[in-house]
Structure 1
Amino acid sequence: MAYTQDYMKTAVPTNLFNDRGSNIVVINPGSANIRIGLAQQDIPLNIPHCIARRTSQLPKRNVQDQMLNTQVTTAQHMERERAYDIIASLLRIPFLDEQAANSSYPRKMGRVDAHPPQNDMKEANFTWTDVFEKNVPHSSTTAEGDAPNEGGTSESPTLKESKIKVEPNSSARKYREYICGEEALRISPTEPYCLRRPIRRGHLNVSQHYPTQQVLEDLHTIWDWILVEKLHIPHRERNMYSAILVIPETFDNREIKEMLSIVLRDLCFSSAVVHQEGLAAAFGNGLPTACIVNMGAQVTSIICVEDGVALPTTQISLRFGGEDISRCLLWTQRHHQTWPPIRTDALSKPVDLLMLNRLKESYCQIKEGEVEAVAVVHSYEDGMPPGSHKTRLTALNLLIQVPPMGLFYPTLLVPDVYPPPPRSWFNDYDDMLEDTWQMDFPGGGAYPMWESYPIFQTKPKKEDIIGLAEAITKSILLTGRIDLQRKLFCSMQLIGGAASIYGLIPAVEERVLHAIPSHEAIDTVEVLQSRTNPAFVSWKGGAILGILDIGRDAWIHREDWIRNGIHIGSRRKYKDSFYVQAQALCYLNS
């Protein structure tokens, strides 16, 4: 053991990754995408976190989700209009009424002559997902419900009854039982499939329309499919691998426990450890102290880290993210009647949201004055091949500039289309981090569990709908120490997919500076550039923490979890280990 620790203290970081990273899988689950890969890899796989299952329900739903509030109310619409006018004034863009009167362009511009950018060319060869199994013999047209599915889990009677997957007029072709990832988003609406997203707005997507058991089965199936098909780790070899779960701070204790059970009990990893997403991001960029602003697809989460320890009292979650910017992009177009005359529905047609996300990534930016570009918009109508429509994107229709400003004026985004899961789901279960360690287990004694792991409230505090700048300022000021506050205001870190929007960093700096109360003795703010892709920095930090975790005392072994549901932890905190920090910084600076 002494030799191992000496080696860990002196080893070159590259050797550590080669030696230990080849059998560690890092899993960073998000609401819209999951980032997963071996710790020794430079970047993870980034896969849409969804699954489409064969269904025989009538009437068929294309998407199985909560969606309890899919209509924008009159009050929300008026708030959105007001937010629009404020942003238009700030960016020196015509107001809504002025635009209609002063526009030199026609109100409808479905097609214009221009060559599409290179990003759009890949859509020219768009094809719907092939939903049929390949090389299925003619004699295989039997009910699949008689045999267990690939994930080894049971399904609802409705799904079991639909397991005879034979295409009409062709008894040799059989429907695939489920389809995961981007392929699931590209299934034609005419096919008998229902899309499910097991995580929504930073929580398991539990609702009356999506029961708990289905959510957990879908998570298991998606993760198992990635391990087998993408990482090529078959079931028989799974016991030779360990898993690192990099979990967003938004998750409740029961949700963490359920995901650990999937990893250890169902996926059969030999051991696992949980790290917080914000803390992992700090290590991923070599920042022992920072304010981490994680802008995901559906949630923006803020937490402060001091000397390698996350400060739970500073954690703030905002219910909006990159997908809300994409939906706002569509609203601005339709509001000014510049969107082509096609039926685009980001909520019930997954392929439309996929298109809008790519338009956002290619064109959205924050910049004063006029900006002009030409994009290709695609239509995906039932039973029709995809169509292409060129449209001009200028300051006059505000596609480029207004939507990302919704991060600072969230009423523009109308983010509450997807409500949070029912809180009763979390209240009828033992608390993983607060209660279970006090229980008596076989063998005697009460085992302390993850004493160093921050404890978050099971019932989250009610947050007002505040903008990004106000939330960052509030989080940092909650530390209560002027020396730390000054350091954090100059060490802000933007991560997540939405962090790549052009012009966002100076916009954050300017608005955070103005959001600081005048009585606070702080006059300097700075956003630090990410050293790696902002979307993957938490995943990379999780890999670093897992590989440099001396002694591995925080790891949970499969047998212990199945037997006790807990882990005999230690009192070590990250700040107690000089070498964890030093080697993480050494790795990133090398």
Structure 2
Amino acid sequence: MDYLKTVIPSNLFAERGTNIVVINPGSANIRIGLAQQDTPFNIPHCISRRTTQLPKRNVQDQMLNSQVTTAQHMERERAYDIIASLLRIPFLGEEIANSSYARKEVVIGATEAQFYQMGRVDTDPPQNNMKEPVFSWADVFEKNVPPPSVTAVEDAPNEGDTSESPTLKESKIKVEPNSRERKYREYICGEEALRISPTEPYCLRRPIRRGHLNVSQHYSTQQVLEDLHTIWDWILVEKLHIPHRERNMYSAILVIPETFDNREIKEMLSIVLHDLRFGSAVVHQEGLAAAFGNGLSTACIVNMGAQVTSVICVEDGVALPTTHISLRFGGEDISRCLLWTQRHHQTWPPIRTDALSKPVDLLMLNRLKESYCQIKEGEVEAVAMVHSYEDGMPPGSHKTRLTALNVPPMGLFYPMLLVPDVYPPPPRTWLKDCDDMLEDTWHMDFSGGGAYPMWESYPVYQTKPKKEDDIGLDIGLAEAITKSILATGRIDLQRKLFCSMQLIGGAASVYGLIPAVEERVLHAIPSHEAIDTVEVLQSRTNPAFVSWKGGAILGILDISREAWIHREDWIRNGIHIGSGRKYKDSYYLQAQAMCYMNL
């Protein structure tokens, strides 16, 4: 304790962070890196595998019922008009050509600098204004293997050195020695996997969808887990340069979203300890890690990811299970709404853009959203470069006027605008026998304190009735935050939480979101509640990496490591009921960690 009070934090990270890998898996991206790093690698959480199946599917987890129904379309249009009224812009069906045609013509003919000043007021202007990157098709062929006498290994495009892991290299190169014949790569991970031409014999897989393992009739449990293992192993070798033979000298911290169930967490722990061969591991809850990452002991954490938005309250370093609410929408839904808005206004060029079956199109839409979408009153427009990726054709560029750019992010408050059911969550039948990760199932008194061979025989004892997935469709972000905080039931804590809201995740970076959240949460509080002040606290670091950073800090400060699970114990016995190594214990901050945070 005395050491933690006197040591310089940077020295502490340098001393203890060299052999700790922090893994924060998400539906669309995985944040992973050594605890001593300032920021993690942020890598698309996907893999494309070579396929010979006919007819070929471009996306493994593509849902069959992905068409927007008439009712959803009508709800979406109604939501648009409600937002238009609030933002003081024309309604969806209004004829605005006569009133604004001349002004728009002037804008289109203006210089880029003039338009930027007219269309945006950001304090942090987009870096890629009018210069959005063109994503070229990924090279799906392996480079030829050099003769045995040559020691250098030629890198695959845009990837790191793999010479430290012959096993991984052999799994990716399937050619005979000295052969000069071009061979397809067996799998491609990360952003490259999103940039594979639809004409190539590859199928994209996303092992996590809407905050759960993406298990379905088209994507088996075994395939999902194999893909998770392959992606994580590829990152460890290619990005972190940790070969298999050295893994036992490293420990892993899993920073897990609140949406995951116990069995899903068990499977991830098995991948880390059994398949990836880490020496030890611990699980931390994402919301709690986020609070610690920003130096807070009490806060309302609002995590806006690519596909799920979660709200949970933390009090004195303890996550409160009854406050957890998950909403089935996120940043990718805003990107899809951006495309819908432009097509409705007929500003999108006549190209075949499909965010569901063409991952490279979603990649482009995400970049456009990050650069131009914002929340402010009045008409918000911009001139941008839109790219087309037609089958068998080189990427094309189209200079386009984008309009109503402040409408899509307002879908966070009016979710029917986003139509989240286009990508429903995976079926949950395989998890019905498991409890929620936040429910306490460890209070049973097991005589003898014996160890169970493996998790498959671990009995589930529930202390309260099983509830359905707490995934919301009918409430927006402001109502979810208000409902979560009021669920604490104590006026003193409620007042503190309403003034300690923390927005994290990739979608939290939308310009104008903070004042919009404050205004709408204040109006969402019932009039009979004695609360008249709300505040969103500024994040100390990139909102997308706060949870990862908190996990790194927790791992470095956890001196005793009583809650850590060692590889030998996991493989031999699983979890020892009644012992100190229960992964759910890691939801509670250690005393020395709290002491360090409050310095």
- Secondary structure of 2:313's partner? strand
Please tell me whether the aligned partners of residues 512 and 525 of structure 1 are also in contact (alpha carbons under 8 angstroms): yes
State how far apart, in whole Å, the 1-side matches of 2:131 and 2:433 are: 48
Q: Aligned residue for 1:62? A: 58
> Which of residues 495, 504, 509 is equivalent to 1:495?
504
The 1:90–1:430 alpha-carbon spacing in structure 2 relative to 1, beyond 3 Å, is closer
AA at the equivalent of 1:85: D
> Which of residues 373, 379, 390 is equivalent to 2:382?
373
Please tell me whether the aligned partners of residues 29 and 247 of structure 1 are also in contact (alpha carbons under 8 angstroms): yes
- Structure 2 residue 392 is matched with structure 1 residue 406: no
State how far apart, in whole Å, the 1-side matches of 2:170 and 2:440 are: 30
Q: Aligned residue for 1:94? A: 90
> Which of residues 519, 530, 545 is equivalent to 2:528?
519
Unaligned runs of 5+ in 2: 114-125, 149-165
Q: Aligned residue for 2:10? A: 14
The 1:573–1:126 alpha-carbon spacing in structure 2 relative to 1, beyond 3 Å, is closer
Q: Aligned residue for 1:419? A: 424
Q: Deviations over 1:312-331 (max 9, x none)?
A: 10000000000000000000
Q: Aligned residue for 1:48? A: 44
Q: Aligned residue for 2:267? A: 258
The 1:199–1:455 alpha-carbon spacing in structure 2 relative to 1, beyond 3 Å, is farther
Q: Aligned residue for 1:383? A: 392
- Secondary structure of 2:386's partner? strand
| Of 428-437 and 85-94, the range deviating more from structure 2 | 428-437
- Secondary structure of 1:119's partner? coil
AA at the equivalent of 1:17: F
Please tell me whether the aligned partners of residues 138 and 172 of structure 1 are also in contact (alpha carbons under 8 angstroms): no
AA at the equivalent of 2:70: T
Q: Deviations over 1:499-518 (max 9, x none)?
A: 00000000000000000000
The 1:441–1:48 alpha-carbon spacing in structure 2 relative to 1, beyond 3 Å, is farther
AA at the equivalent of 2:299: A
Please tell me whether the aligned partners of residues 22 and 32 of structure 2 are also in contact (alpha carbons under 8 angstroms): yes
- Structure 2 residue 231 is matched with structure 1 residue 235: no
Q: Aligned residue for 1:143? A: none
Q: Aligned residue for 2:35? A: 39
AA at the equivalent of 1:417: V
State how far apart, in whole Å, the 2-side matches of 1:348 and 1:439 are: 51
Deviation of the 1:371 alpha carbon: 2.6
AA at the equivalent of 2:373: C
AA at the equivalent of 1:401: N
State how far apart, in whole Å, the 1-side matches of 2:134 and 2:507 are: 27
Deviation of the 1:242 alpha carbon: 0.1
Please tell me whether the aligned partners of residues 136 and 174 of structure 1 are also in contact (alpha carbons under 8 angstroms): no
The 1:53–1:343 alpha-carbon spacing in structure 2 relative to 1, beyond 3 Å, is same
Deviation of the 1:456 alpha carbon: 11
Q: Aligned residue for 1:192? A: 201
- Secondary structure of 2:390's partner? coil
Alignment of 1:524-543 (within 5 A): 524-543=533-552
| Of 432-441 and 31-40, the range deviating more from structure 2 | 432-441
The 1:164–1:25 alpha-carbon spacing in structure 2 relative to 1, beyond 3 Å, is closer
AA at the equivalent of 2:321: P
State how far apart, in whole Å, the 2-side matches of 1:137 and 1:456 are: 62
The 1:362–1:430 alpha-carbon spacing in structure 2 relative to 1, beyond 3 Å, is closer
Alignment of 1:90-239 (within 5 A): 90-100=86-96, 102=98, 104-105=100-101, 119=128, 126-136=135-145, 150=167, 172-239=181-248
Q: Aligned residue for 1:561? A: 570
Unaligned runs of 5+ in 1: 140-148, 155-159
Q: Aligned residue for 2:117? A: none
Q: Aligned residue for 1:145? A: none
- Secondary structure of 2:326's partner? strand
Deviation of the 1:392 alpha carbon: 1.2
Q: Aligned residue for 2:120? A: none
Q: Aligned residue for 1:480? A: 489
Equivalent residues, number = 555
State how far apart, in whole Å, the 2-side matches of 1:252 and 1:153 are: 35
- Secondary structure of 2:181's partner? strand
State how far apart, in whole Å, the 2-side matches of 1:43 and 1:455 are: 40
Q: Aligned residue for 1:77? A: 73
- Secondary structure of 1:274's partner? strand
Q: Aligned residue for 1:583? A: 596
Deviation of the 1:461 alpha carbon: 3.8
Deviation of the 1:45 alpha carbon: 0.4
Q: Deviations over 1:35-78 (max 9, x none)?
A: 00000010000000000000011111111104132100000000
Q: Deviations over 1:461-510 (max 9, x none)?
A: 46342100000000000000000000000000000000000000000000
Deviation of the 1:206 alpha carbon: 0.4
Q: Deviations over 1:298-344 (max 9, x none)?
A: 00000000011100100000000000000000000011111000000
The 1:264–1:484 alpha-carbon spacing in structure 2 relative to 1, beyond 3 Å, is same
The 1:573–1:51 alpha-carbon spacing in structure 2 relative to 1, beyond 3 Å, is closer
TM-score, normalised via structure 1 length: 0.87
Q: Deviations over 1:521-575 (max 9, x none)?
A: 0000000000100000000000011111131101000011111221532697776
Please tell me whether the aligned partners of residues 32 and 49 of structure 1 are also in contact (alpha carbons under 8 angstroms): yes
Q: What percent of counterpart residues are identical?
A: 81
AA at the equivalent of 2:34: L
The 1:67–1:120 alpha-carbon spacing in structure 2 relative to 1, beyond 3 Å, is farther
